[in-house]
Homo-oligomer: A and B are copies of this chain.
């Protein structure tokens, strides 16, 4: 797996890199970013995964996320994958909508044609890219954690619930928590996985918890001015599921904040501290 360096910039005493490689899972070139904080030669650092939301690439959080200062202080590597395969021959939304296809991989391995060929973001994010990162960067694979925003928050929580021994912390900013019950999720899971709803439950945070999946604890922030709050995000469903399952959840409703990176960047440092505390154990 050859790794091409797209850019490398010194930032907050560490290095912000952007890289490209040929993915065996998506059968396309995939781009991702990695911030490596200042560290002693030979050190193996804890690693935070950040999954992005609809329409995003690695670039949104890399440019606007304001995570590097905290990661430099706390000694965290920060990895931001893309949100879907891209390129010629990769099918997108038939109508060109933003919420399916390109930029909207929904962190599943698609089973329906024509998407099954390239849309393998679950395996890409949980298997292929972790292997590559472990080979190429100064990380300790025993100390990984995961967070995300919106569709990426949904990805982070579902991945954590299905791999509770691999990720030591999980958190989310404005996540979709019950995709089976909201328009974005119904469109995406139906399109990638088909109409058999039993297959959706492994990609639905609330359903996973109902079906017995557990995680140590979650931190979740929402803005109360988020335009997607009541129709797409529905944090009350996560609150109910965690309460019934006995999963500790810190759910914070942030006054006046919307769905944008102005919200994400405001609370990013809090999330990095949450992750660092659990990665240090």
Contacts and interface: CB of A to CB of B under 8 A. Distances in A.
A124 B68 CA distance: 35
A6 to B, nearest CB: 14
A257 B69 contact: no
Contacts of A223: 10
Nearest to A268: B69
Given A63-B63, A64-B63, A66-B66, A265 B11 contact: yes
Dominant secondary structure of chain A at its interface with chain B: mixed
A interface bracket (residues with beta carbon within 8 Å of B): 20 to 34
Interface in A198-245: 223, 225
A263 B266 CA distance: 20
Nearest to A11: B262
B66 A256 contact: no
Contacts of A258: 9-10
Contacts of A16: 262
15 contacts: A9-B260, A9-B263, A10-B225, A10-B257, A10-B258, A10-B262, A11-B262, A12-B265, A16-B262, A63-B63, A63-B64, A63-B261, A64-B64, A66-B69, A68-B265
